[in-house]
Amino acid sequence: MEKLVVQGSQHLSGTLSISGSKNTALPLMAAAILGGDVSTLSGIPNLKDVRTFARVIGYTGVDVSLNPDLGTATIDASEVTNPEAPYELVKRMRASFYMMGALLGRCGHARVSLPGGCAWGPRPVNLHIDGFRALGAEVELDKGYVTATAPGGRLRGGRFKLTPSSVGATINLMLGASTANGTSIIENAAREPDVVVFGEYLQAMGAHIDGLGTSEVVIEGIPALHAADFANCPDRIELGTFMIAAALCGTPGEPVTLVGGDHTQLGDAFIEAFAATGAETEYGTDAIVVRAPAEIQPVSVETAIYPGFPTDLQAQWTVLMTQAAGNSKITDAVYTDRFKHIPELRRMGLNAIVVDNEVVVEGKTRLSGAYVMSTDLRASVSLVLAGMVAEGETHVQRVYHLDRGYEDLEGKLAAAGVEVKRVSYDEFADPEHEPAHA
Q: What is the DSSP letter of 145?
A: E
Greatest C-alpha distance within the chain: 66
Dihedrals φ, ψ of 304, to 5°? -160, 170
By DSSP bridging, strand 183-187 and strand 159-161 are parallel
Q: β-strands 138-142, 145-149: how paired?
A: antiparallel
Burial group, residue 284, by CB count within 10 angstroms (0-12, 13-18, 19+): exposed
Smallest separation, CB 246 to ligand UD1 (Å): 22
Rounded Cα distance between 278 and 280, Å, is: 6
Q: Binding pattern to ligand UD1, positions 354-383, x when CB under 6 A?
A: ------------------------------
d(CA 435, CA 438): 5
Computed from CA positions of residues 199, 200, 206, 208, in that sequence, does the dihedral angle turn out positive or negative?
positive
Q: How far is the CB of 12 from ligand UD1 (least distance, A)?
A: 24
48 binds ligand UD1 (CB under 6 A): no
334 binds ligand UD1 per the rule CB under 6 A: yes
Q: Among 235, 238, 312, 376, which residue sits at the site for ligand UD1 (rule: CB under 6 A)?
A: 312
Residues 167-206 that bind ligand UD1 (CB under 6 A): 167-169, 190, 194
CA distance between the termini of the chain: 12
Judged by CB under 6 A, does residue 335 bind ligand UD1? yes
Based on CB atoms, which residue is closest to ligand UD1, 195 or 321?
Answer: 195
CA distances from 301 to 258, 272, 279, 357 (A): 23, 10, 16, 12
Q: What is the DSSP string of 341-378?
A: HHHHHHTTT--EEEETTEEEE-SS---B--EEE--SHH
Selected range binding ligand UD1 among 165-173, 212-220, 292-300, 357-365, rule: CB under 6 A: 165-173
One residue of 26, 80, 175, 239 binding ligand UD1 per CB under 6 A: 26
* Catalytic (active site) residue 118: yes
Q: Is 331 in the site for ligand UD1 (CB under 6 A)?
A: no
Please identify, using beta-carbon distances, which residue of 147 and 323 lies nearer to ligand UD1. Answer: 147
Question: 311, 323, 365, 375: which one contacts ligand UD1 (CB under 6 A)?
Answer: 311
Q: Tell me which amino acid residue 363 is.
A: G
In the complex with ligand UD1, the residue whose CB is nearer, 83 or 168, is: 168
> Cβ 378 to ligand UD1, closest distance in Å?
8
Is 402 one of the binding residues for ligand UD1 (CB under 6 A)? Answer: no
Based on CB atoms, which residue is closest to ligand UD1, 29 or 352? Answer: 29
> x/- binding map, residues 240-269, to ligand UD1, per CB under 6 A?
------------------------------
Nearest to 110 by CA among 204, 5, 30: 30
**Which stretch, 64-72, 160-168, 209-217, 275-283, contacts ligand UD1 (CB under 6 A)?**
160-168
d(CA 99, CA 4): 33
Question: In the complex, what is the shortest distance from the CB of residue 148 to ligand UD1, in angstroms, rounded to a whole number?
Answer: 14
Q: How many CB atoms sit inside 10 A of residue 421's CB?
A: 12
Q: How far is the CB of 94 from ligand UD1 (least distance, A)?
A: 6
Q: How far apart are CA 223 and CA 276, in angstroms?
A: 50
User: What mask, x for binding ligand UD1 by CB under 6 A, covers residues 114 to 143?
Assistant: ---------xxxxxx---------------
Active site residues: 118
Footprint on this chain of ligand UD1 (rule: CB under 6 A)? 23, 26, 95, 123-128, 164, 166-169, 190, 194, 311-312, 334-335
